[in-house]
Chains A and B, each alone.
Chain A
């Protein structure tokens, strides 16, 4: 947990508040929080729960103005929106293979080279050293300095294949496809009374992820009925417990789209959700 990691190093973590319906960041509150004492602003490029696309270039510009660095969590953004590191404006950017149609257990940290070069390693092991004696060691150049130990080679090869696959389709196409599906899903889901949709509800601000709760039915039960209908969704807090607490929820159900998703599947989802409501009525 990043919050706890930072506490261990004796720094303070403050959250940027959300505004209004709590699905977009309150940028005025952000401005008030920023000061010369701010060292690092960590922000999600796209929420994996709400689908909210955060204005990272703007956030980064304001952070840099006070001398702070910016870390963007682009795990959802890279595979679903398409991201160019330089355009994003962050100093560090992370993403993961398993959301990119790749294998689990592999991810990427992109960083400005001069920053990485100025940093000490946090993990030691093979490959990251240059010279080792009994008393001391010197470190390798970047990036190997930060790639200690036996690498997950299979994962890296799989990740590269996934990247090539999406590149061949073109991220513009990927985003357009998912955007159309999201718009269709939002429209069809609105037909179901008893569904509370979380997220901006508008495809300009929301990527291909739709989370919701169903009145009187726990997300696990929703997921169970959908599973019996051949539909896979995620139920739980989606590694975003503070966000759920903010909404007064323990959990929600999440639908997410990818290049292989279709409108027929959205129709099947709505039929299954209706069945779920009837079962638990």
Chain B
């Protein structure tokens, strides 16, 4: 398994230049997800317009996989409805677990297809999923009119 399969240029690019960085002004909900095992953390803010994700931003610290995957996530969901975003989330989850036949769907996953190599490194799967987990959490809370929150992962959660 060559390193290039994991650290593709797209991933390094998202890591160096996240697409929607920082805190979202006027966010409906902000959630902070933190993996204490490795120190990856993300604060994801979302603003909804009906059930459409009108605004999203991620402020984070952590490994290249976690930060890059979160950046890709923001690019994939902004301007889409929550159901469509959740479909993308599920497609990404399947990619991480090596499920599904044939080529990953670039329509649904966008730059997320570059993360296909992560499936071969179980230790990094949680890193790649962190941003999507935070999105699902934030979107659910926003739709339900709830406030923000913080989630800390323990050894057995996630993936």
Contacts and interface: CB of A to CB of B under 8 A. Distances in A.
Nearest to A244: B39
Query: Most B CB atoms within 10 A — which of A218, A219, A228, A241?
Result: A218
Interface in B29-61: 36-39, 41, 61
A219 B61 CA distance: 12
Contacts, number: 46
Nearest to A222: B63
Contacts of B123: 220
Nearest to B5: A228
Contacts of A224: 3, 6-7, 121, 124
A198 interface: no
A250 interface: yes
Interface in B88-141: 121, 123-124, 127
Contacts of B65: 220-221
B64 interface: yes
A237 B35 CA distance: 12
Contacts of B36: 241
A249 B15 CA distance: 19
A144 to B, nearest CB: 33
Contact-residue bracket for chain B = 20 to 34
Contact of A280 (B1, B12, B38, B39): B12
25 contacts: A217-B64, A218-B39, A220-B38, A220-B63, A220-B65, A221-B7, A221-B63, A224-B3, A224-B6, A224-B124, A225-B3, A228-B1, A228-B2, A228-B3, A235-B38, A236-B37, A236-B38, A237-B39, A241-B36, A250-B38, A250-B61, A250-B62, A251-B38, A280-B12, A280-B64
A279 interface: yes
Nearest to B1: A228
Q: Which 5 A-B pairs have the closest CB atoms?
A: A250-B39, A218-B63, A220-B63, A228-B3, A251-B39
Given A224-B124, A236-B37, A251-B39, A218 B64 contact: yes
Interface of B: 1-3, 6-7, 12, 15, 36-39, 41, 61-65, 121, 123-124, 127
A54 B12 CA distance: 41
Interface string A221-241: 100110010000001110001
A245 to B, nearest CB: 10
Interface string A179-192: 00000000000000
Nearest to A252: B39
Contacts of B6: 224
Given A236-B37, A237-B39, A280-B12, 19 more contacts: A217-B64, A218-B62, A218-B64, A219-B63, A220-B38, A220-B124, A221-B63, A224-B6, A224-B121, A225-B3, A241-B36, A250-B38, A250-B39, A250-B41, A250-B61, A250-B62, A279-B3, A279-B7, A280-B64
A60 to B, nearest CB: 33
A280 B3 CA distance: 12
